Amino acid sequence: MAKAKKDRVFLVTGATGMVGGHVAETLRAQYATVRCLVRKNSDTAFLESIGVEFCYGDVTDTAAVDAAVKGADVVFHCAAMVSDWASREEMERVNVGGTQNIIDACLKHGVQRMVMVSSLAVLGMGKQINANETAPYVYTGDNYNYTKIESEKRVLAAIREKKLPGVIVRPPYIYGPRDRQLLPRVVQFLKEKNFKFIGGGANPISLVYVKNLVDVMMRAAESEKAVGQVYHVTDGTDISRKEFITELAQKLGYEVPTQSVPEGVAKMLCPVLEWVNKVTGSKEPPLLNKFKMKFMVTYLTFDISKAKNELGYNPAYTYKQGLEETVAWFKSQKEEPAGVS
């Protein structure tokens, strides 16, 4: 007898992160059994508060992944290493090897659906204007870009060759409550006494509020049309870096940046400052680094027509609404959330 929809078992990887945590929270509001694969030394207080089940290990541990996936009906693969400084080998082990472990376990145990969170970074960090899902991969030399492309290729190959019931969802920069990636880094920019925009900050960018992203992931897990597909997901509106940073500064009480340095000058200085940082052994990112360059100067907007047409996605939260909730959460924290390396 087929299992009743309400009795399905869900597995979430990366659940101690922002996206995985919101996925687990959304699932627990509807279903009894939500498992999370977590490391034993992780902060699981939030997950404990919503009543998930724990499987201990990480995605690089084949046995732990196999045990976590066994008996699951739907797997949301949100785990990934995001870093400007980690080695390619380290990032491949987690992002590519970990994804392969999830694929293998899903095939072995016959899951009904695997939804993988990828990234629009697979299309490069140059100039993309309303790029859709047919745009080709662009290798940039960046380790995160490389490992996300290779992870996607593994999933797509398993879909094509082994009938994996998989779906890939590609977000751009993600913001929202419990953000440990984008918001802490931008706030760090604002703390710099002489922060300057690069190239004026006018280039547009697509962002996605975490709850909009989770909405698409839930739809991808349910729709039969979604199997084998890739979907871009954003808030549906584009803003400039200057607008985003200015609004954050105003809402959080920081001085609003007004000055700018030419993009060409910044590009020349960036590798020099990073080299000095490594030579001196500093544990703090340099004043000008890869993340700041990528975030400030790229021209990245994306088309979400496919998610709208095939999944019925219509962003429930506008950028303004998402930013208000994000700032409210940030202000509620006793200590500012730490960023990533």
What's residue 341's pLDDT?
A: 38
Closest alpha carbon to 270 in 288, 283, 286: 288
Q: Is 172 exposed, middle or buried (0-12, 13-18, 19+ CB in 10 A)?
A: buried
Distances (CA, A) of 143 to 79, 120, 150: 16, 14, 11
What's residue 206's pLDDT?
A: 96
Give 75's strand partners: 11, 114
What's residue 4's pLDDT?
A: 78
What's residue 244's pLDDT?
A: 94
CB atoms within 10 A of CB 340: 16
What's residue 103's pLDDT?
A: 99
Architecture per CATH, 7-176+206-236+301-317: 3-Layer(aba) Sandwich (3.40)
Q: How far from chain centre, in Å, is Cα 142?
A: 16
Please report how the helices 182-191 and 319-332 are oriented relative to each other, as an axis angle in degrees rounded to 10: 70
Q: What is the pTM of this model?
A: 0.93
Assess contact for 77 and 106: CB atoms under 8 A: no
DSSP states along 239-308? EEHHHHHHHHHHHHTPPPP--EE-HHHHHHHHHHHHHHHHHHT-SSPPSS-HHHHHHHH-EEEE--HHHH
Assess contact for 291 and 274: CB atoms under 8 A: no
Please report how the helices 290-297 and 182-191 are oriented relative to each other, as an axis angle in degrees rounded to 10: 100
Maximum Cα interatomic distance, the chain, rounded to a whole number of Å:
66
Q: Position of tokens 């940039």?
A: 140
Reading the chain (341 residues) residue by residue, the pLDDT tens digits are: 567 788 899 999 999 999 999 999 999 999 999 999 999 999 999 999 999 999 999 999 999 999 999 999 999 999 999 987 789 999 999 999 999 999 999 999 999 999 999 999 999 988 889 999 999 999 998 899 999 999 999 999 999 999 999 999 999 999 999 998 899 888 888 887 677 888 888 999 999 999 999 999 999 999 999 999 999 999 999 999 999 999 999 999 999 988 898 888 888 888 888 888 888 887 666 777 776 777 778 889 999 999 999 999 999 999 999 999 999 999 998 666 655 43
Please report how the helices 98-109 and 143-162 are oriented relative to each other, as an axis angle in degrees rounded to 10: 20
Q: Is 233 exposed, middle or buried (0-12, 13-18, 19+ CB in 10 A)?
A: buried
Q: Kindly give the pairing relationship between strand 74-77 and strand 238-240.
A: unpaired
Closest alpha carbon to 178 in 212, 210, 144, 216: 210
Between CA 233 and CA 171 the distance in angstroms is 5
